[in-house]
Amino acid sequence: MGVADSAARRMAQAEAAAQAAPPPPPRRVVSPYNPANAVTASRFLFLPPFAWAVVNGYHQWATLFILICGVLDKVDGLVARVFDCRSAFGELFDAITDGICFGFALILVAAYGWAPAIPVACIITLGVLNTSMRMVYARRAGRAVNYKSYAMERIVAYTGYLVGFATAQFEVTFYYWVFVPLMAITIGHDTKRMLLDSIPPAPAPAAPEGAR
Interface pick for other proteins out of 41, 88, 121, 151 (rule CB under 8 A): 151
Nearest residue (CB) to other proteins, 13 versus 60: 60
CB of 21 to other proteins, least distance (A): 31
Nearest residue (CB) to other proteins, 79 versus 152: 152
Residue 60 binding other proteins, by CB under 8 A? yes
Torsion over CA of 92, 94, 100 and 106, rounded to 10 degrees?
A: -130
Q: Check: CB of residue 134 under 8 Å from CB of residue 95.
A: yes
Closest CA to 44 of 101, 105, 91: 101
Residue 59 binding other proteins, by CB under 8 A? yes
Tell me, what amino acid is at 116?
Answer: P
Alpha helix positions (H), the chain: 2-20, 35-42, 47-56, 59-82, 88-111, 117-141, 150-168, 172-195
Nearest residue (CB) to other proteins, 64 versus 133: 64
Nearest residue (CB) to other proteins, 62 versus 138: 62
Report d(CA 146, CA 135) in Å as an integer. Answer: 9
Provide the binding-site residues for other proteins, judged by CB under 8 A. 58-61, 63-64, 148-155, 157-158, 161, 164-165, 168, 170-171, 174-175, 178-179, 182, 185-186, 189, 193, 197
